[in-house]
């Protein structure tokens, strides 16, 4: 059986006695887009930095395509493309100089034609100095650096954080294209809607612990929605008594509802009364985790 793209076994990291990652055991198969979801501070970046051997584990082990991330870290990193969450570049260097620098560290792994194609695909001009790039262009350059050597495994730490929606779409498209040609994409996010859109499976991390690994389809079936509905007349009490609906509050003709799972039955129930206005709201990831996975994690 082929080695998984990423495998961690009991991976643990303490910082000055504080446990940042607690016994993470995770298997990411080859060719999948795996979302690593969790609120800020959950341990996503710690996991990624352990995979790249930028930090050393307190316990446990990790491997990329069967290559141990600590003992054979250089080989493991040769198999990956990495985009850090907080991307810093050499501001005094031009885009193409940065590309040349990092390509030089990959000893012939980088095809200049592929770099040019990627820059064109990302609509990125490599002539200006990195210090003059917008946040979006910096992130594009970071992506180009991660992709330019056609790595079999992509590790991206919040790749769309701070990007405008157009650039976000470009990034998602690129990730899907990479996955289509067999690349494993492992990316962290704290935005539920993003992983829903891009990933096949999701690992959910909370306070350093993996609380669930689920196919996105199952996660979607359980997704929370909040609705604020204003009717022409106040609907009668109990009008929305459905198993998956919690009526949170009502004030005159406005009702606030929360639903877990599909919306079909609720929409049909709402449609029985004249609706003046309807607004939906995406609950925060932390609220979803609270609703589904466990009680609040006490401060440790």
Partner 1 sequence: MPQLVLVRKTLRDVRTAAFWIGVALFLTALLDTVIYPSYREQLQGFEVPEFLRGFMGEAEWTSPAGFFQAEFFSWTPLLLITLAIIGATGTLAGEEANGTLDLLLAQPITRTRLVLEKTAGLVIGVVLAALAGMPGFLLGLLLVDVEISAARLLAATLYQVPLTLIFLALSLWASAALPTRGTAAAVAIAAVVVTYFLNMLGASVDLLETPRKLSPFYWTDASRILLYGFQEWVRTGVMLGVSLAFLLLALWSFQRRDIATGAREWRWRPVRALTIAPSPAVRERGAQRAG
Residues engaged in binding partner 1 (CB under 8 A): 16, 49, 52-57, 59, 61, 68, 70-71, 74-75, 77-78, 80, 82, 84, 86-90, 100-102, 104-107, 142, 145
CA dihedral 172, 173, 179, 185 (to 10 degrees): -20
Q: How far is the CB of 170 from partner 1 (least distance, A)?
A: 21
Q: Supply the minimum distance, in Å, between the C-beta of residue 104 and partner 1.
A: 3
| Least Cβ distance, residue 154 to partner 1 (angstroms) | 12
8 A C-beta contact, residue 151 and residue 81: yes
| Closer of 54 and 239 to partner 1 (Cβ) | 54
Radius of gyration of the chain (CA): 22
Smallest Cα–Cα separation from 7: which of 93, 57, 66?
A: 66
Look at residues 160, 163, 215 and name the one whose alpha carbon lies nearest to residue 188: 160
Choice between 59 and 267, CB closer to partner 1: 59
Q: 182 by DSSP, 3-state: which?
A: coil
Contact (CB, 8 A) for 130 and 89: yes
For residues 88 and 251, which CB has a smaller minimum distance to partner 1 in the complex? Answer: 88
Distance, in Å, from the CA atom of 51 to the CA atom of 74, rounded to the nearest integer, reads 11
Nearer to partner 1, 131 or 221 (CB): 131
Question: Which CB, 122 or 227, lies closer to partner 1?
Answer: 122
Least gap, CB of 101 to partner 1 (angstroms): 5
Smallest gap from Cβ 3 to partner 1, in A, equals 18
């Amino acid at each position: 059986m082929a080695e998984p793209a990423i495998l961690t076994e009991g991976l643990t990291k303490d910082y000055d006695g504080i446990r940042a990652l607690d016994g993470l055991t995770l298997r990411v198969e080859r060719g999948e887009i795996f979302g690593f979801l969790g609120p800020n501070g959950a341990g996503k970046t710690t996991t990624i930095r352990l995979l790249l051997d930028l930090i050393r584990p307190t316990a446990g082990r990790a491997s990329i395509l069967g290559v141990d991330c600590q003992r054979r870290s250089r080989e493991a990193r040769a198999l990956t493309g990495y985009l850090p969450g907080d991307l810093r570049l050499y501001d005094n260097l031009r885009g193409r100089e940065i590309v040349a620098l990092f390509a030089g560290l990959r000893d012939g792994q980088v095809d200049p034609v592929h770099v040019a194609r990627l820059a064109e695909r990302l609509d990125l001009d490599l002539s200006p100095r990195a210090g003059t790039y917008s946040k979006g262009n910096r992130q594009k350059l970071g992506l180009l650096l991660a992709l330019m050597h056609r790595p079999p495994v992509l590790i991206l730490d919040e790749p769309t954080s701070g990007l405008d929606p157009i650039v976000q779409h470009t990034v998602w498209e690129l990730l899907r294209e990479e996955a289509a040609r067999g690349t494993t994409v492992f990316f962290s996010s704290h935005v539920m809607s993003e992983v829903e859109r891009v990933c096949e499976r999701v690992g959910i991390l909370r306070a350093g612990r993996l609380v669930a690994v689920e196919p996105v389809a199952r996660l979607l079936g359980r997704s929370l929605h909040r609705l604020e509905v204003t009717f022409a007349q106040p609907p009668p009490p109990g009008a929305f008594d459905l198993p998956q609906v919690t009526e949170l509050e009502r004030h005159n003709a406005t009702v606030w509802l929360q639903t877990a799972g599909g919306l079909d039955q609720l929409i049909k129930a709402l449609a029985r009364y004249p609706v003046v206005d309807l607004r939906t709201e995406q609950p925060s990831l932390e609220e979803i985790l609270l609703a589904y996975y466990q009680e609040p994690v006490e401060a440790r």
